[in-house]
Structure 1
């Protein structure tokens, strides 16, 4: 059984490739800009903005499962249009699709969000992710869409790198005490996505940890785990800045968690 990991060179994608290969799946993965030589997968260059290339890769592999773990950023053509294009192509070739979305689709006005909550993004990235969700639900209704939060692991995680840089004065900035999320461990998330892909679940699912913490509290936990001086981590208030984005977004993952064997640990446990 072939599993295709789109965005396989990224932080989450790398873990998906590792776990899929370890489970005995014939694993294919894509990269957008940086070639990868990992023997755990067969690698393909893929730009989701290139419809012909999307069709070529999917049709040639005929994978049973496609997991779209591409980051995309705020690039509308890649994150919104490209993700919908991939979903349509997967549906055309009868491939099971799991699309990874984000808590950035929410504004934070209500803090607690379960799977029934409608997107109300306040950033270009959130808007692109929300548009992808809408297009996929309309044009590939059998697909599963998995919203997640801050993805934590080792130094490869951007959030962990930031804490290390701030604690060693390698980067300026601060960690906000009023910016709340529900972090998830990359290993737990990858396992949950692969399990979700093996089911016939469709529609929206939340895959985040049960603990809601501020960016600063998260930084303190990372610092303690990694032997850094947490007192060196600068604090700040996001509300006092001009930075766009939601303040308090807590994904309620209990409904999805109840359907899965994979347990999504809270950040206070895995750190």
Structure 2
């Protein structure tokens, strides 16, 4: 079966391609050089060449509304025209954190421009393709190439600056678990919003300590602080309730303490 992964050069995209190929699928992992998500013509042309049965959109740019929001709409239209199954990867950033715990039925209330772009992307995808899966996830943890792990390594090495917040809670997920769950959802009959995140909420500082323990880093160099005291805006406490989604999956989504247990 032909599969097309947008954002295929990122950590999640590479893991999706690896697992799908191991299962015998023919995968095209597309980066920005293959198709600029901001340009519908490039997206449609790539979909036309690949002729996928499944499209997974893991592409975004943190500070680029057009790539994140417009790009999601472009991918959705192209996938529908090609008759492909669509899985769109979204984020817990669509929530403000004011209420703490959010299940799949909660309405997005973003606190950042990135969160607003991801919320707009969700709306576009669901309007274009009612059968698509919108998979919200949280902090993605893998090797040192994943964003949060790279930051902890930089802080521990003294090459990075800043705090790891003690009042900023997320539900981290391992990149391998996330990729497996997305591929399972792609092969399922389900549609709509799904929360694909770990079952346990930890602060960014707690997560940093777990990463340091796993990777043998100097945890004493990780500086703790509160978002409130630092005067940093944005969402602080976002806990994705994924009970419904986990009940539909055979893939087990592990908590951070489990998948980051030190060797």
Whether these two folds match at TM > 0.5 is yes
Match of 1:258 among 247, 251, 260: 247
User: 1:227 and 1:157 mapped to 2: Cα distance?
Assistant: 17
The alignment status of 1:187 with 2:176, answered yes or no, reads: yes
The alignment status of 1:19 with 2:19, answered yes or no, reads: yes
User: 2:147 and 2:249 mapped to 1: Cα distance?
Assistant: 27
Corresponding residue of 1:203: 192
How many residues in Structure 1 have an aligned counterpart in Structure 2?
260
Corresponding residue of 2:92: 103
Cα contact 1:153–1:160 (8 A) shared by 2: yes
Cα contact 1:210–1:266 (8 A) shared by 2: yes
User: Aligned Cα RMSD in Å?
Assistant: 0.9
Q: Secondary structure at the match of 1:142?
A: coil
Corresponding residue of 1:166: 155
Give 1:244 deviation, angstroms: 3.0
Cα contact 1:100–1:147 (8 A) shared by 2: yes
Structure 1 unaligned segments of length 5 or more: list them.
34-44
Corresponding residue of 1:36: none
Give 1:139 deviation, angstroms: 1.4
User: 1:163 and 1:85 mapped to 2: Cα distance?
Assistant: 34
Is the deviation greater in 132-141 or in 147-156? 132-141
Cα contact 1:74–1:128 (8 A) shared by 2: no
Residues 60-209 of structure 1 mapped to structure 2, 5 A cutoff = 60-209=49-198
User: 1:183 and 1:236 mapped to 2: Cα distance?
Assistant: 19
Give 1:29 deviation, angstroms: 1.4
- Give the TM-score of the pair, scaled to structure 1: 0.94
Cα contact 2:14–2:29 (8 A) shared by 1: no
Give 1:236 deviation, angstroms: 1.0
Q: Secondary structure at the match of 1:8?
A: coil
Corresponding residue of 2:3: 3
